[in-house]
């Protein structure tokens, strides 16, 4: 049975632009399923780091992605029966995920898994290529952005709240490096999808961003 009739809201953007928070809240408001595609790359990165898989062995990394036993339960992310919700947010994991996301074999290994999240009554998917590659025909595509300074400050607060030490200068450098990798990679670079609504979240709250996305969606389904 085809799933193309199931509505999808694709929300893309760089690291710490607020897309995860916004996407999750929009999904809750609409009663839709939620896909954190970035978590799949972070899960692959965490699995590879734990196994000692060479980060230059594209074939081996694709195998790790293909055979992951992972699931999402509420706000928790499970890997082989272990709750790794916090573990995948470590900076080393995030940086590794950004590097391996540029590998075509890894992206292909996760392609079908991402499509499988499209279930009734609908899906809100956040990532970097949801509107350009995974769900190019989504009725609503949103691209969240924010200044590097604003994103670094958000990331800093998130880490401190979790008891993880952080340095603002290092975070700024990491975000700039990730942005460069994501926007210049040969496959599925980070760019707004055709027809996407661009929303700068530097000076607005998450609630305001959620309200705007819901308004756009309401206009699309009229």
Instruction: Give tens-digit pLDDT for 63-115.
Output: 999 989 888 877 789 999 999 998 998 889 988 998 998 899 999 999 988 99
The pLDDT score that the predictor gives to residue 89 is 86
pLDDT at 2 (0 to 100): 63
Residue 200: name the closest of 159, 156, 147, 160 by CA: 147
94 is an annotated ligand-binding site residue: no
Please tell me whether 120 is known to bind a ligand.
no
User: Does 20 belong to an annotated binding site?
Assistant: yes
Answer yes or no: is 14 a known binding residue: yes
Kindly give the interhelix angle for 19-30 and 206-220, rounded to the nearest 10 degrees: 50
- What is the CATH class of 8-217? alpha beta
158 compared with 105, residue with greater pLDDT:
105
The span from the CA of 67 to the CA of 180, in Å, is 29
66: cis peptide before it, omega within 30°? no
Residue 121, marked binder = no
Q: Each residue of 18-57: pLDDT tens digit?
A: 999 999 999 999 999 999 999 999 999 999 999 999 999 9
Measured at the alpha carbon of residue 112, what is the angle toward residues 77 and 210, in degrees to the nearest 5?
55
19 assigned binding-site residue? yes
* Confidence (pLDDT) at 168: 93
159 burial (CB, 10 Å; 0-12 / 13-18 / 19+) is middle
Domain spans of the chain, in order of start:
8-217
Model confidence pTM above 0.85: yes
């Amino acid at each position: 049975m085809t799933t193309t009739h199931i509505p999808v809201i694709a929300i893309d953007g760089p690291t710490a632009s607020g897309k995860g928070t916004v996407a999750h809240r929009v999904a809750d408001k609409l009663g839709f399923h939620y896909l954190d595609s970035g978590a799949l790359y972070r899960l692959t990165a965490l699995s590879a780091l734990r196994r000692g898989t060479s980060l230059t062995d594209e074939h081996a990394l694709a195998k790790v992605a293909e055979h992951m036993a992972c699931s999402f339960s509420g706000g928790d992310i499970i890997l082989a029966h272990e709750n790794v919700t916090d573990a995948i947010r470590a900076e080393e994991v995030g940086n590794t995920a950004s590097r391996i996301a540029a590998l075509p074999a890894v992206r292909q290994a996760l392609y079908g898994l991402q499509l499988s999240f499209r279930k009734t009554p609908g899906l809100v998917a956040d990532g970097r290529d949801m509107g350009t590659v995974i769900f190019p025909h989504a009725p609503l595509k949103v691209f969240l952005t924010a200044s590097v300074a604003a994103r670094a400050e958000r990331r800093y607060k998130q880490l401190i709240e979790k008891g993880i030490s952080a340095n603002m200068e290092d975070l700024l450098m990491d975000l700039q490096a990730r942005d460069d990798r994501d926007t210049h990679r040969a496959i599925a670079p980070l760019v707004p999808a055709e027809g996407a609504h661009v929303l700068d979240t530097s000076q607005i709250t998450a609630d305001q961003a959620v309200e705007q996305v819901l308004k756009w969606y309401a206009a699309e389904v009229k």
